[in-house]
Structure 1
Amino acid sequence: MAKDTITLQTAQEWAARWKKEGANYLAENQLKAFLIPGDDVTQVMAEEGVVNVRSYLGIDENNEPHLMIVGVDAEGNDMIDSEKGWYIYDFSEPCPNTCNQKAPFIIQ
């Protein structure tokens, strides 16, 4: 498995939790943004056949938010198949904790 990846089952569980609890999570925890490391985006884009990326929101079993990212092919389809080297990436860090501290886009 590639670095910073999760299984399809985990992604589905997190996405289902977001669908059920996401609105409440936003209201209670003030989620504002995600930091996405450039090296990790490069890793996704390097997968064979990837032309774009798509992100999905999720909440894990510890009530932590996640931005899950998958490669997308030229037809707009998610590319998820670990046997082909197409993974679901979970490497983002939520803001608060990783928020921008300089103008012009400061999120307090």
Structure 2
Amino acid sequence: MLYPAAKSPLASTHCYASRHDALTTLQEREAAMAVTAKHENAALQTPSPMRIVRLPEVKALTGLSRPTVYERIRDGEFPRPVGLGGRTVGWVEGEVTAWIQGRIAIARGHDS
């Protein structure tokens, strides 16, 4: 059986690819997604205590918005950033990870 090939958004529907080509493309995409997920999970499981992470990564790790991060810093409930020069700041990854672990412990009913 033949399936339409997606060469470009403007490709005509009379171009066809074999089912094998479609499966190969799908398998390649799934393999790439698996590698990306494995890399992201490894990064979350083995943080470097001396690695500096910027705000987008802090937001991704914690699930907090930018205003919430800075509100919690102001209230003393979140690690303070480290100045990197000029107006650039970052957070020590180990401190952010420890904060996350503390939140998990609180949610699970453990004192920390």
Normalised to the residue count of structure 2, the TM-score between the two structures is: 0.23
Structure whose CA Rg is larger? 2
Query: Which has more strand, going by share of residues?
Result: 1
Normalised to the residue count of structure 1, the TM-score between the two structures is: 0.24
Query: Which has more helix, going by share of residues?
Result: 2
